[in-house]
Amino acid sequence: MRRTPSLVSILMPCFNAAPYVGAAVRSALDQTWREIEIIVINDGSTDSSGEILDSIRDSRVTVVHQDNAGQCVAANRALRRSSGEYIKFFDADDLIERQTIELQVARLAGNDQAVASCEWGRFYNDDLSTFRLNPEGVWRNMDPIEWLLEAWHNARPMMQCALWLIPRAVLRSAGEWDERLTLINDFEFFTRVLCHSSEVRFTPGGRVYYRSGVRGSLSGRKDRKATESAYLSITGATSQLLNRRSDSSARMVCANILQDFIYSCYPEHPDLRKSAESRIREFGGSRLSPDGPPGFHKLRRLVGWKMARRIERRLGRQRAGGSVT
């Protein structure tokens, strides 16, 4: 007897994504894998996102409007409404290649304990001619813990939503999104998903187009609430990894992730930085160098990374028209 094709649920939180959400939904609808449902949660958008979503006429698309409650709440609400055997979370400003889901379903071949990953690259604003693939060492079949060790080594892993096709059985074990988090929530969530998976199966030809340079994006936030969320996400993710492997390699990558957090928020939030420094010492230290543009690296060789970061922040405020103190 021929098996009914597996239903894939594509789950999309949306907040003030009017310039992009229509293209994101069309990207999902254009998939060659036709057995899909798309559930979009309009999370209290104050732009025209709601009207754009309501104008979509396709029986596979369900739009739910709610008061603003955050991306994690929206993702969990979509998950609870979904009925697919496989789940793909999807940001409202990204795009995927037409065959991505079909290739990932085939890659999993009915294994409900493995997850499928795929290729990705960046493009800027609406210009797909700027797209460039970003090959990584994790673009291969891997044990999930080894995937984390490899991806975290330089402390800047790509764990973006649309990369993954996840069997519902894995999510039953891993749990829902942590609704306390507002920034880098995907880092904690997908770490937890991988820690409850048996294998990561890489899908050549499956591809995510990751939109960069979006003004006002959540990833660009530096306020206290966002920084606290980032730290909570990092400590949650590193604890997940260390619960499964706690040798020197695992402790080193966890220390690197925390060191990168210190670099990113310096000189603000000294209490969170102090807590991160304490954990880094417990893990045996980090040798990770700070990230930044060429001018920053030239400056830090002269005055050290802390002073270079202060100068970088001050110049950034000047360019933004803010006051300089």
Stretch 12-35: mean pLDDT, rounded?
97
Domain count, the chain: 2
Out of 214, 241, 257, a domain closes at 214
Helix (H) or strand (E) holding 152: helix 144-152
Kindly give the interhelix angle for 144-152 and 185-195, rounded to the nearest 10 degrees. Answer: 150
Asked if residue 132 is part of any domain, the answer here is yes
One domain for residues 172 and 303: no
Asked if residue 78 is part of any domain, the answer here is yes
One domain for residues 122 and 31: yes
Stretch 123-129: mean pLDDT, rounded?
88
Per-residue pLDDT at 250 exceeds 80 = yes
One domain for residues 72 and 184: yes
| 127 beta partners | 124
pLDDT digits (tens, 9 = 90+) for 33-57: 999 999 999 999 999 999 999 999 9
One domain for residues 37 and 142: yes
Helix/strand/coil for 46: coil
One domain for residues 260 and 128: no
% pLDDT > 70, the chain:
95
Stretch 230-258: mean pLDDT, rounded?
98
Stretch 289-306: mean pLDDT, rounded?
94
Full domain range(s) for residue 235: 220-313
Q: Structure pTM? A: 0.93
Sheet of 86-89, strand order: 61-66, 36-43, 8-14, 86-89, 166-167
CB-CB neighbours of 308 under 10 Å: 20
One domain for residues 113 and 207: yes
**Dist. CA 300–CA 284, nearest whole Å:** 24
One domain for residues 208 and 229: no
Query: Lowest-confidence range among 9-13, 83-87, 123-127, 291-295?
Result: 123-127
Out of 191, 214, 237, a domain closes at 214
The Cα-based distances of 6 to 27, 105, 118, 143 in angstroms read 19, 8, 19, 25
Out of 214, 244, 279, a domain closes at 214
**Dist. CA 24–CA 35, nearest whole Å:** 18
One domain for residues 173 and 122: yes
Q: Which residues contact 98 (CB under 8 A, 6 or more apart)?
A: 30, 31, 32
Sheet of 199-212, strand order: 95-96, 199-212, 114-124, 127-133
Per-residue pLDDT at 214 exceeds 90 = no
pLDDT digits (tens, 9 = 90+) for 264-274: 999 999 999 99
Give the residue from 62, 96, 218 showing the smallest Cα distance to 104: 96
H runs (alpha helix) in 159-304: 168-174, 185-195, 224-244, 248-265, 270-282, 294-303
One domain for residues 296 and 191: no
Asked if residue 2 is part of any domain, the answer here is no
**Dist. CA 103–CA 268, nearest whole Å:** 44
pLDDT digits (tens, 9 = 90+) for 160-198: 999 999 999 999 999 999 999 998 999 999 999 999 999
Asked if residue 44 is part of any domain, the answer here is yes
